[in-house]
Amino acid sequence: MLHTLSVAARAHTNIALIKYWGKRDDVLYLPTSTSLSLTLDSLYTDTRLTFDNKAKKDSLHLAGEKQDDASTAKVSRVLNLFRERYGCADAPAVRVDSHNHVPTAAGLASSSSGFAALAFAARALFERAYPDEPHMSDTELSTFARRGSGSATRSIFGGFVEWSYGTGSQDSVAVPLDNADWDVAMVVAAISTQHKKISSTYGMKHTAATSAFYSLWRQASQQDLEAVRAGIASRNIDAIGAAMEANCMKFHATMFAANPPFTYMTSKSLQVIEFVQALRDEGLSAYFTMDAGPNVKILCRRSDQDQLHERLSAAFPEITLFDAVPGDAPELLDAAQWSELYG
């Protein structure tokens, strides 16, 4: 009974320690450099897919609200890749119900968990409906998530994950490096959960096309990547943090040097950054990074997380803080779990 088939999944966001900032192929979403992230447990998206025989087109519902054609088209683009892969161009339309446990589109990486949850659920849905097709590995799945949003590639695995530059679509994939099951955590300072003014898609395109620093960024990013990899291998939070911060500043510098220039940093972001630097001067291993929004993510030891949280909340009572430890790979949710959560 294809038309009643329904599958749900949960995927976690990831925060890039080494940033992805530019596509060398706008259709395949191939990056201009390798990136590296940490998957977070407490920020995630739950998504249920249901074949809808009666509908002519896919539909997308976010927290129960039907989304517009432009947002639905992004989801359909990914679902169409599965229709192609499973040889079923005539598969029924899919109703997508999604719940973000991440503030949407505010540089808190909701697109990474969103498209990873979509891809993870879609693989299970299509495998159940078309069981004769060859199994899709997690590595292959990461290339499907990538076509929704670059950062979603990395949310197919837990812990520290690299998204390789690759030679083409088949090998520009997520590679799990380390499950991060050690003394590492993050505190996210959500300065603003408003929709960002400049989307990451536009921001990276504009930067790659106009920034005087763009080619330098790509070279320098490779060195930062190697330093973070070495820090992960030796479980050295200070080595990871120093290279992560350096990469973040170079990433934002590319935007200062774009034409016209722009930035996602706000005066409040800079205040948090200065506070993190001051904590470090006191001996606390805390390191910042920022993405395409004003929010600051702070890497720390898990054993220091409570202390860091308390200090931040005393200094910035107006900022919402999210504590996170390393998260796992996506998982399926059964029908009972879904109805308990969302009715």
Residues contributing to the site for ligand PMV (CB under 6 A): 16, 19-20, 35, 111, 149-151, 200-201, 291-292
Angle at 133 between CA 131 and CA 138, to 5 degrees: 95
Least distance from C-beta 145 to ligand PMV, angstroms? Answer: 10
Least distance from C-beta 40 to ligand PMV, angstroms? Answer: 12
User: Which one, 289 or 305, has the nearer CB to ligand PMV?
Assistant: 289
Least distance from C-beta 151 to ligand PMV, angstroms? Answer: 3
User: Which one, 7 or 161, has the nearer CB to ligand PMV?
Assistant: 161
Least distance from C-beta 181 to ligand PMV, angstroms? Answer: 22
User: Which one, 172 or 200, has the nearer CB to ligand PMV?
Assistant: 200
Tell me the CA distances in angstroms from 162 to 124, 132, 225, 259, 303, one per residue in order.
24, 31, 9, 30, 25
Which amino acid belongs to residue 214? Y
Q: Is 210 helix (H, G, I), strand (E, B) or coil?
A: helix
Do residues 228 and 270 touch, judged by C-beta distance below 8 A? Answer: no
Q: What is the DSSP letter of 170?
A: T
Least distance from C-beta 291 to ligand PMV, angstroms? Answer: 4
Instruction: Report d(CA 33, CA 215) in Å as an integer.
Output: 11
Instruction: Report d(CA 287, CA 6) in Å as an integer.
Output: 42
User: Which one, 16 or 190, has the nearer CB to ligand PMV?
Assistant: 16
User: Which one, 37 or 59, has the nearer CB to ligand PMV?
Assistant: 37
- Residue 4's region, left for phi above 0, alpha for psi from -120 to 50, else beta, is alpha
